[in-house]
Amino acid sequence: MPVTFDQTVVFVILLATLVLFVWGRWRYDLVAVAALVLVFIFGLVPADQAFLGFGHPAVITVGAVLVLSRGLLNAGVVDVLSRLLSKVGTRLTAQMATLTGAVVLCSSIMNNVGALALLMPVAIWMSRRSGRSPSLLLMPLAFGSLIGGLVTLIGTPPNIIIAAYREETGAPPFGMFDFAPVGAAVAIAGWLFITMLGWRLTPQRESRNATEDLFEIEDYISEVIVPASSRLVGKTIFDLTSKTGKGTEATVVGLARGECHIPAPSWYEEIQAGDILMVEATPEDLKALIDSTGLQLAECKGDCKATLGSEEIRLLEAVVTMDSPLPGKTAAHLHLRRDYGVNLLAIARRGHRLKSRIGQTEFIIGDILLLQGSDEALQTTLKTFNCLPLAERKLRIGEPRRVLLAMGIFAAAMLFSAASLLPVQIAFTAAAVAMVVAGLVSPADIYESIDWPVIILLGAMFPLGQALESTGAAHLIAAQLLQVSNGISPAATVAIVLAGTMLLTNVVNNAAAAVLMAPITITLAKGMGVSPDPFLMAVAVGSASAFLTPVGHQSNALVMAPGGYRFGDYWRLGLPLSVVVVMIAVPLILFTWPLTPTGLR
């Protein structure tokens, strides 16, 4: 069969898109939009259909689920889980089983990145309390969030995409729990493998003693007294920081004046004679400050931490994520203290605290920041810079009534969609509105909770999938696959589709993998004269099983820095887990979704 011009154009655009996805130089949503523009310019998609993907039911559903996940988070689910999981004890197997089991359960009913974000601080806190490296828990936790997403329609975006593509075969879309017979079994088998054996394959990075934290704050906090003769008397905190001299830096993180203690004093606080300032600085910078201002060094009497972490002012550790605007910028450039009311006390990179001047250090993805400030200031800073909180200095108690309300709204949405009383996109959009009305999600949270790069990616990729079908490119690829699979059973072809999708999703976004593979496998099934259902299910499982690389899924990338992992660490646990998934999923797919045309439901 000769290749037409339109097919050649589609293949070139598709190949370029995949290469750019793997390269990672430009964000995947920008690459997808560029591909959309190109398929329109070459006339492969008409103008009135170019942007229909952004109104696709799958895109709407993904956005609604992300808002619902924020509602569950705001309701205090993490606090309830923290209290329950803190009772597990310090045995590694017990911690592994409960944490991984909890993330599997959570990710089956909410966005899997959101589920990981809920439990990652708990895992780090438990690791430190037990005196173990967080690396033992974090990779299993990330992989657990992926396999948990296989259980329900809303567990992961690929399921929602595959459900929509099934409607193109003339059958109704997959329902809420149609994924459960295969997905639940795979999730349970994966959980058992990780808990019993798999965790032993994760690298154990250098751990600290149980009483140590990643940041030894007191090593860098000193007390200085302001004598009456000091030139700083009558000046402000800002004046003090400007006196340290070029190339040096010091941060006032607390002030004691008689019986009054002021954590994180304002830059405009006037310094008085007799004040005791708690200064965060290296020994060299502290000496420069004392020499230039006439301050006197005092001995820290052991209450520095208490002053730093009062009820009003908290210490919080946060990781710089892939979507954060921080990489390439410095704390001095951002004016964190002046504009956001928080102090940056320290930076850790690859498991070690940086000794360089933090104000002039450029952030990179994966940096762990130790921040000090009020609860409101910290939350604003985390939202503004899209950083993920890792561990606070104490766990806080949640609000059960808000948790029950959030779970009730969520359960109602699942019930209405599972019973086909409402289309899934309508049911979950209504639930998201209910979360806002109930005060669980603020209007600002609506837009902050939605992962816009994923939404843009999906909206732009659907027309590319349409171009694959309309130009006959999908049929051409399917024909080549038919020739390759000639002489082997359809069941073996299902296994090949699953394994091939797995490999693809480890280098491109999982939603993109589902959009690209779905039309090809539908055409392949029609060419073989069998039901497309098992092939679609194979794509759903494969596109959600990115266990081999840190770039395959956001969950994998989030744990890389806190766990101290390297790029090549993931396959050690990921490869055997992938084998387990294939061995369990393929026979269950073929049993639940027969290959015969009559198996189409």
Joined tokens for residue 199 = 């965790």
**Of 64-78, 166-180, 449-463, where does the model show the most confidence?**
166-180
- pLDDT in the model for residue 182: 96
Tell me the mean pLDDT in the region 51-80.
81
pLDDT single digits (tens) 320-347: 876 688 888 887 778 777 788 787 877 8
- pLDDT in the model for residue 598: 44
pLDDT at residue 474 is higher than 50:
yes
Tell me the mean pLDDT in the region 3-25.
85
Strand partners of residue 313? 374
pLDDT at residue 301 is higher than 50:
no
pLDDT single digits (tens) 397-418: 446 678 888 889 988 998 998 8
Cα–Cα distances in Å, from 92 out to 87, 120, 210, 560?
13, 16, 14, 20
Q: CB-hemisphere CA count at 13 Å for 324?
A: 26
Q: 534 and 595 in contact (C-beta within 8 Å)?
A: yes
Alpha carbon 278 to its chain's center: 35
Q: Which of 188-202, 267-281, 289-303, 527-541 has the lowest mean pLDDT?
A: 289-303
How large is the C-alpha radius of gyration of the chain? 27
d(CA 56, CA 596): 30
- pLDDT in the model for residue 327: 84
Using pLDDT thresholds of 50, 70 and 90, give the confidence band for residue 302.
very low
Cα–Cα distances in Å, from 45 out to 98, 141, 513?
49, 41, 20
d(CA 208, CA 564): 13
Residue among 211, 118, 138 nearest 564 (CA): 138
Cα–Cα distances in Å, from 157 out to 392, 455, 457, 547?
31, 10, 11, 17
**Site of tokens 């969520």:** 410
Number of H helices, E strands in the chain: 24, 10
- pLDDT in the model for residue 395: 40
Strand partners of residue 392? 316
Strand partners of residue 315? 372
Tell me which amino acid residue 579 is.
V
- pLDDT in the model for residue 150: 94
H-run or E-run covering 19: helix 5-23
- pLDDT in the model for residue 208: 45
Joined tokens for residue 306 = 């208490």
d(CA 594, CA 255): 72
Q: Which of 150-164, 233-247, 426-440 has the lowest mean pLDDT?
A: 233-247
Burial class (CB in 10 A: 0-12, 13-18, 19+), 35: buried
pLDDT at residue 315 is higher than 80:
no
Please name the residues in contact with 212: beta carbons below 8 A apart, sequence gap of 6 or more. none
- pLDDT in the model for residue 436: 92
Residue among 319, 320, 317, 314 nearest 375 (CA): 314
- pLDDT in the model for residue 464: 84
Q: What are phi and psi of 300, to 5 degrees?
A: -70, 125
By percentage, how much of the chain surpasses pLDDT 90? 22
- Report which of residues 135 and 118 the model is more confident about: 135
Residue among 108, 59, 162 nearest 533 (CA): 162
d(CA 87, CA 426): 39
pLDDT at residue 50 is higher than 50:
yes
Q: CB-hemisphere CA count at 13 Å for 407?
A: 11
- pLDDT in the model for residue 281: 72
d(CA 368, CA 352): 10
Give DSSP secondary structure letters for 111-138. -HHHHHHHHHHHHHHHHHHHT--THHHH
Strand partners of residue 270? 236
pLDDT single digits (tens) 349-398: 765 667 666 667 888 877 888 887 777 888 888 888 878 777 554 444 44
pLDDT single digits (tens) 547-579: 998 877 878 877 877 787 887 889 999 999 999
Using pLDDT thresholds of 50, 70 and 90, give the confidence band for residue 582.
very high
Helix (H, G, I), strand (E, B) or coil at 145: helix
Using pLDDT thresholds of 50, 70 and 90, give the confidence band for residue 248.
low
Please name the residues in contact with 441: beta carbons below 8 A apart, sequence gap of 6 or more. 67, 70, 71, 74, 432, 435, 449
387-392/221-225 β-pairing:
unpaired
Joined tokens for residue 259 = 């019986």
- Report which of residues 169 and 223 the model is more confident about: 169
Joined tokens for residue 68 = 């619902």
Q: Which of 71-85, 470-484, 516-530 has the lowest mean pLDDT?
A: 71-85
352-353/276-280 β-pairing:
unpaired
Tell me the mean pLDDT in the region 24-44.
88
Burial class (CB in 10 A: 0-12, 13-18, 19+), 104: buried
**Site of tokens 């109602």:** 412
pLDDT single digits (tens) 181-228: 999 999 999 999 999 998 888 887 654 443 345 565 555 567 788 888
| Average pLDDT for the chain | 81
Tell me the mean pLDDT in the region 530-557.
89
Neighbours of 167 (CB within 10 A): 12
d(CA 484, CA 162): 24
| Residues, the chain | 601
- pLDDT in the model for residue 34: 93
**Of 8-12, 61-65, 283-287, 350-354, where does the model show the most confidence?**
8-12
